[in-house]
């Protein structure tokens, strides 16, 4: 059995095989694989006995269900109004400089992807961002530098 | 500095460790009694639309269905809103108690918290609390279970019917209404869907009775309301206040002394300019004096250094991205409004073009399928009409 097949099967065992299991399974794939490949979508359709078109339709609707490869850590900076007022552009510039990528890109080593997102529900502590699921708030360029160094160090000690 | 004219309340966030006693006391009462209490308390939904909560529960109880569901709407995607996260992390037992009583009344065995993906970090703690809560329900002999359903970054899924679609594994595209959730909700079964804050308020009503709640607020807007305050304010944060305050009083307390506008109700709400602060009352549209504004509780303050063009542009960007794309007025309308204001700003279109855009926004209000497309006109018209020069120069 291919790796993808195995993973989808395990997720279906965990969350079930009904329509209501689709979103949790797709979320599970993103957690494990960082993105949902076409192969995975076809496998989910087979496992849940639904059309691949439905899986594709659902997977592409949600902004957190990445269907293109991303880095291990996806950084999503809030670009909505109060974060914009409190300097999110400066935060993005700092991140672009630190990671040497532009918005929407992934670092060469595949560790970080930099994206923008809409309001994170942290507006009283803007600017705010998520790294995978963890929120970071009241950001300043210095704070962002520290956070990125910490994540990089974690990568180095993991390898 | 803040003047503290407005009375700060401490009803929702007060940590009370008596869930078991309150639930035990409430679950033995008759369903009619509980519903009558909710109705007479005047509690209305805090998710934005303001439907009377007691009535919603009653309608759902009366509708037949093999299975019924209680869903707590924790999608909280409206820009400038962050109170539901705070309620769920500091007093989750109140929300769960509200769900349990609702479940008993309508006859539901299963409930869900639809939690926005942005709040995934709350899941481990919430699951622990759910385990404790389920043990309590077993003790009280109520067969009811609550599970967390995680969203995946789509604002439209806060709209109740889109939320059901999403839970059913589909794209988050709103359904036609009617039927309403009380008739056909999740899996086409009668469903109560309430905002986090609404459910937490029911707990206070079970505990203190409807009068205490009713005594707060004014006219058709009863009780306290949790406000998310952000923008140009020295004291951003979450505040529980009484309904019925004027915007002037609010700005006196929370502004930085230089407020030129307040956006009430988020990007889909209204922008009120300084000259209308004293005439605007915060509460549901009803028999209030002056202009009243319903609100999910988002209050964003802008001072005179802010360009209202940039503010509007940011909102329109948001709507273009978050429109589900299902109906033409909203899919095309949001894009045309954005392109339109850009063209006027650049001088590619005459300023009179703004009037065409205002017409377009009004057409969207009438023809769009759901509240997202219908409410774009709220912020669009209120900003363009009150800050027309800023749109042009
Ligand atoms: C575009 C859109 C987004 C919405 N988002 C939310 C939300 O995030 N949370 C919420 O409670 N209600 C939201 N609502 C309102 C819900 O559809 C529904 O009215 C509400 O959850 C009912 O609960 P209540 O009666 O307690 O207010 C939204 C509505 C629309 C049209
Ligand atoms: S109004 Fe917008 S969000 Fe609502 S159904 Fe139409 S396209 Fe979708
Ligand atoms: S505007 Fe950035 S978190 Fe809400």
pLDDT tens sequence across B40-60: 999 999 987 789 999 999 999
Local structure of A82: helix, strand or coil = helix
* Residue A85's CATH number: 3.40.30.10
Decide if pLDDT at B221 tops 90. Answer: no
Number of C-beta neighbours around residue B317 at 10 A: 18
The answer to whether the Cβ–Cβ distance between A54 and B169 falls below 8 Å is yes
What is the average per-residue pLDDT within B197-210?
96
Q: In chain B, which residues have their Cβ closer than 8 Å to the Cβ of A21?
A: 169
pLDDT-based confidence at B5, cuts 50/70/90? confident
Same domain for A38 and A78? no
| Per-residue pLDDT tens digits for B326-377 | 999 999 999 999 999 999 999 999 999 999 999 999 999 999 999 999 999 9
- Output the pLDDT for position B223: 85
With a CB cutoff of 8 Å and minimum separation 6, the contacts of B93 are B19, B129, B133
| Per-residue pLDDT tens digits for B119-146 | 999 999 999 999 999 999 999 999 999 9
What is the domain extent for residue A36? 3-61
Indicate the average pLDDT of chain A: 97
The token pair that represents A111 in the structure block: 């560790």
- Output the pLDDT for position B3: 60
Counted domains in chain A: 2
- Residue B314's closest chain A neighbor by CA? A81
Hey, which bits of A19-128 come out as E strands?
A: 73-78, 112-117
First to last CA, chain B: 33
The answer to whether residue A68 sits within a structural domain is no
Same domain for A110 and A51? no
Q: Quick check: pTM over 0.95?
A: yes
User: Which residue in the set B76, B150, B321 is minimally distant from A27, CB to CB?
Assistant: B150
The answer to whether residue A100 sits within a structural domain is yes
pLDDT-based confidence at A113, cuts 50/70/90? very high
Q: Is the CB–ligand 1 distance for residue B194 below 6 Å? A: yes
Question: What ipTM, to 2 d.p.?
Answer: 0.97
Same domain for A50 and A96? no
The CA-CA-CA angle for residues B321, B323, B325, to 5°, reads 110
Same domain for A57 and A80? no
The answer to whether residue A128 sits within a structural domain is yes
Q: Is the CB–ligand 2 distance for residue B320 below 6 Å? A: no
Question: What domains, with CATH codes, occur in chain B?
Answer: 7-214 (3.40.50.11540), 217-303 (3.10.20.600), 308-392 (1.20.1440.230)
């Amino acid at each position: 059995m291919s790796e993808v097949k195995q993973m989808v099967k395990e997720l279906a065992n965990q969350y079930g095989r009904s329509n209501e299991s689709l979103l949790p399974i797709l979320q599970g794939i993103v957690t494990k694989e960082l993105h949902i490949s076409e192969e995975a979508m076809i496998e989910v359709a087979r496992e849940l006995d639904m059309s691949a078109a439905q899986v594709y339709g659902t997977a592409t609707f949600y902004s957190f269900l990445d269907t293109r490869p991303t880095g291990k850590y996806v950084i999503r900076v809030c670009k909505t109004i109060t974060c914009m007022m409190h300097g999110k552009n400066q935060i993005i510039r700092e991140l672009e400089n630190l990671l040497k990528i532009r918005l929407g890109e992934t670092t060469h080593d595949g560790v970080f992807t930099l994206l923008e997102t809409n309001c994170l529900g942290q507006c009283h502590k803007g600017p705010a961002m998520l790294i995978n699921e963890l929120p970071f708030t009241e950001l300043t360029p210095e704070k962002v530098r520290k956070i990125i160094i910490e994540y990089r160090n974690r990568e180095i000690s993991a390898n | 500095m803040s003047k503290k004219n407005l009375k700060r309340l401490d009803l929702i966030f007060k940590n009370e460790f008596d869930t078991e006693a309150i639930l035990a006391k409430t679950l033995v009462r008759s369903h009619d009694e509980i519903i009558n209490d909710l109705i007479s308390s005047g509690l209305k939904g805090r998710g934005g639309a303001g439907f009377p909560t007691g009535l919603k529960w009653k309608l759902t109880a009366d509708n037949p269905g093999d299975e019924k569901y209680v869903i707590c709407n924790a999608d909280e995607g409206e820009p400038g809103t962050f109170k539901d996260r705070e309620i769920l992390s500091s007093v989750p037992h109140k929300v769960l108690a509200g769900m349990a009583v609702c479940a008993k009344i309508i006859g539901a065995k299963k409930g869900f918290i639809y939690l926005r993906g942005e709040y995934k970090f709350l899941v481990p703690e919430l699951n622990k609390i759910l385990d404790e809560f389920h043990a309590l329900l077993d003790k009280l002999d109520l067969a009811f279970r609550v599970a967390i359903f995680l969203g995946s970054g789509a604002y439209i899924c806060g709209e109740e019917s889109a939320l059901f679609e999403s839970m059913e594994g589909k794209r988050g595209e709103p359904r036609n209404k009617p039927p309403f959730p009380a008739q056909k909700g999740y899996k086409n079964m009668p469903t109560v869907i309430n905002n986090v804050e609404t459910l937490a308020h029911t707990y206070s009503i079970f505990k203190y009775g409807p009068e205490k709640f009713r005594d707060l607020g004014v006219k058709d807007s009863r009780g306290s309301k949790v406000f998310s305050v952000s923008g140009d304010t020295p004291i951003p944060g979450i505040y529980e206040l009484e309904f019925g305050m004027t915007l002037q009083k609010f700005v006196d307390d929370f502004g930085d002394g230089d407020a030129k506008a307040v956006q009430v109700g988020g990007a889909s709400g209204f922008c009120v300019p300084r000259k209308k602060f004293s005439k605007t009352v915060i509460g549901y549209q009803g028999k209030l004096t002056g202009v009243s504004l319903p609100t999910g509780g988002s209050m964003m303050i802008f001072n005179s250094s802010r360009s209202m063009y940039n503010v509007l542009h940011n909102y329109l960007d948001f709507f273009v991205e978050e429109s589900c794309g299902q109906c033409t007025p909203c899919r095309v309308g949001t894009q045309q409004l954005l392109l339109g204001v850009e063209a006027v700003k650049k001088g590619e279109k005459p300023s009179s073009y703004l009037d065409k855009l205002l017409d377009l926004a009004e057409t969207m209000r009438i023809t769009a399928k759901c509240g997202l497309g219908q409410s774009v006109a709220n912020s669009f018209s209120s900003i363009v009409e009150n800050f027309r020069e800023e749109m042009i120069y």
